């Protein structure tokens, strides 16, 4: 599988990724995805994406409060 952004080879990984759907940020654990060695682009297979969308639609997730570092990009 090739990266859509830079056409480098992608490697299969399993771990944690962030998903932003409808302005809400979701953290997905223990998920299989492909990551580009070159630019870091991450993609989910259509099957996995569908499964995650279904889970979100059916609210099959737990709400956890996590601390996220927030930076202000204003300069000057």
- State the nearest-atom distance from the C-beta of 34 to Zn ion, in Å: 10
Q: Where are the beta strands (DSSP E) in 1-76?
A: 10-21, 24-36, 42-43
Q: Which candidate, 28, 12, 13, 19, places its Cα nearest to that of 60?
A: 28
State both tokens at 33: 């995805």
Our finding on whether 1 is near Zn ion (CB under 5 A) is: no
Mask: binding to Zn ion, 14-53, rule CB under 5 A, as x and -?
Answer: ----------------------x-xx-x------------
| Chain positions contacting Zn ion, by CB under 5 A | 3, 5-6, 8, 36, 38-39, 41
């Amino acid at each position: 599988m090739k990266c859509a952004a830079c056409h480098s080879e992608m490697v299969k990984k399993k771990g944690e990724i962030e998903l932003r759907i409808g302005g809400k940020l979701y953290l997905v654990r223990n998920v299989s995805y492909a990551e580009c060695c070159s630019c870091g682009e991450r993609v989910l297979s259509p099957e996995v994406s569908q499964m995650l969308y279904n889970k979100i639609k059916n609210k099959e997730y737990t709400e956890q409060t996590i601390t996220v570092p927030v930076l202000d990009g204003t300069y000057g």
